[in-house]
Structure formats: C-alpha cells, structure tokens
Amino acid sequence: MNTHSPSPSPIILNGHNGSTNGNGTYPDGHADTPTSTSFSVQPVNGYSQNPYQMHNEDIVRHLYHSGFQTGNYADTLLHVLGSVYRLHAIILSRSPYLAHLMSTSPQTSGQRAIFIHLEHEPEVTQDGFAIALGYLYSSVSLSLISPENARGVLAAGCLLGGMEDLCAYAYEACRQSITVDSINEWVDFVDTITMPRPSVSGVSTPVEMPPPTSIFGMYAQRLRDDVFNFLVATLPSMLGVSTAAASTPPQTSQDGRETLLHVFSRVPFDLFKAAVESPTFQIGSDQARFKFAKDAIDLRKRGIARGTGAEETVVLAFGANNMGGSAVHVTRKMRKRQLWKVNSPA
C-alpha cells in the first residue's frame, strides 16, 4: 500500500519564496488551470475523444501541476544553479543522467538530495534546465520554448538525455532564431564550440578535424553548419548583396554590403576563411569577392585580428575557377619577431 508523507515546508525554489517549482502558473498564464493537450480522434462509443486517452491526459496534467509545479509528495530534492526542486524519483529516472545521479547518491533521510554542478556548462541556463525538467513530467513544457531560451533548453535536454523530441524542438527554435540581429551572438557561440586546427608553419588551413566534445552532442555540428550557411547564403541574399538579388536598388545593395562587412569583420578567422572561399558565397565576380575580403580584412585589423600577432591577407588566383577551386584565397601568417642586434663592448 502506497503511503504519502505530508508536503515539505516551503523553501527557496527558483529564486522565489514559496512551495512551487516555478511560477505556479501553466503555460497559458492561468493559475491552476491545466492546459489542454487533447488530440483529435474519431468519435468512439459516442465520445468525441477516446475515454482512455482523456484519462491519460488528466493524469499527465495532474503530474505536471501537482508533481512538478507544486512539488507535492516529493521524495527527491534536486539542487542546481542556486535553486531547489522538490521532485519525484520515479519521474526523474526517465533521464539517464539523473537516474545515474540518484543511483550513486546515498539516501540518508526520508528525501534523497542530489546536487548538479554546472559551473563548466555555461550554456545550461536556469530557465532552460527548468523547462527540461518539466518535460520529464509533461510535453506541455514544449510551449515554453522561445528563441531567447531555446539554446539553454537544448543544452539542458542534451545533458539530461532521454528527451529527443524536446531537443529536436529546441534545436529548430535555435535554427530559426539565427537572424541579422542575432548573427553576431551566434558567431560568438560557434567560436566557443570550435576547435581550431593547430598550425606548425603559422599558415592556417581549413578546419577538417572532428568537432570537439560538447554538451550539445550532434547538435553542435548542426548549429555550426546552420551559422555557416546563414553567413554565406542566407545573409547575403537578405541584404541584397547576393548575385541572386540582381534587382536590388544600388543604395540598398551598398548598405547591405556595409552590414555584411561589419558581420564578417567579427567572424573568427577559420570561419571567415571558409566563408569567403566557399562556392556558396555568391556576391558577384571573383574581383568583387576579392575586394570584399580585402575590405573585411582591413576592418579586422582594427578589431578581432588586432594584437593577435598574425597577419591576414587575401589573394586572387586567376584561372582557379576553371579548375573547380576558389579564385579567392585567405591566409594568415604569424608575424616574425624583429631581432635586435646587440653590439658587444669594445
């Protein structure tokens, strides 16, 4: 026979004084009003919905509200990112990561306490982690994903494991959030999960090594590819710089070129080199691409490349396109230190 102990006394949860894991409201903003997740099915025995399905949905709504949001009858205290969640071991065991933590955490009292340290995982945000935890109880958490928190949700989902649908949903929200206004932030993000190829000669080469280990798993490479494709194809087209946008007014095209230059002036070198040399980067003739790269490098000398001890250059190789290669080549060489001659005293 299952027995239930009274709910624990209120503690600090998600930065709030109270007894709820979160803000105490459902995603639709109405307190204590469960959000319907009903499915459209053919009438069965006079019902517009399968009664078993309705029953299952009622259980899920109850679990999410009474179990996750208010933490009733919790048997596990989860400490993470300065917050404490009152949760339930049987639900948490859906996550391989949390199941392992529970199996290796000694239970010295009536409630198990587990601690998650994320100091070295800055991409896992408090908001993202809370949404991923809620997903263990109900798919209603999907409605809480937004462009602002999608990357944090994806990181948390990849960490906890066992929630492929949540990760796919969050990844799609990330992909759609790559815009002209957010591209600089995404470029900075890609730089943190990219491992440059070491160079012995000082001349950079295209990065072809396997991607580094990342909390994002397979989504790390997907996000890198998405940012790259946005830089070389989507962004030039949006700004009217692409050759596909031939009908763009001259002034608009010039303004777009300036915006594109500003973006490329902040891109890490390996990404800059790959983008400029990519056959997908169609902004006109080889001469136009060469001039663009030269102008971008001039801006980079005063910004991202300043003080690195390296010199970036671009060359135009005539006839390279006839052999299927890029006619524009970007290189980077380390500047040689000047040697000072010291005369010995006579």
CB neighbours of 276 closer than 8 A, spacing ≥ 6?
264, 289, 292, 293, 296, 314, 328, 330
Q: How many angstroms separate the Cα of 252 from the Cα of each of 240, 246, 249, 288?
A: 7, 11, 5, 17
Residue 32 token pair: 């204590």
Q: What is the mean pLDDT of each run of 10 residues along the chain (346 residues)?
A: 42 48 47 43 58 89 94 94 95 96 82 91 95 96 96 97 96 96 92 57 42 79 95 93 63 82 91 93 90 93 70 81 70 70 61
Answer yes or no: are the C-beta atoms of 14 and 126 closer than 8 Å. yes
Q: Where are the alpha helices (DSSP H) in 207-249?
A: 218-229, 235-238
Largest CA distance in the chain: 112
**Model pTM?**
0.75
| pLDDT at residue 206, as a whole number | 43
Which residues does residue 12 pair with via DSSP β-bridges, in sequence order?
Answer: 17
Q: What pLDDT digit, counting tens, does each position of 227-239 carry?
A: 999 999 999 999 9
| pLDDT at residue 36, as a whole number | 43
Q: Where are the alpha helices (DSSP H) in 105-249?
A: 126-137, 150-160, 164-176, 183-192, 218-229, 235-238
Gap between the Cα atoms of 159 and 145, Å rounded: 17
Question: What's the CATH class of domain 11-175?
Answer: alpha beta
Q: What pLDDT digit, counting tens, does each position of 8-44 carry?
A: 444 445 334 555 565 444 454 444 444 444 444 455 5
Can you give the residue ranges of every domain in the chain? 11-175, 183-332
Residue 151's closest CA among 226, 232, 68? 226
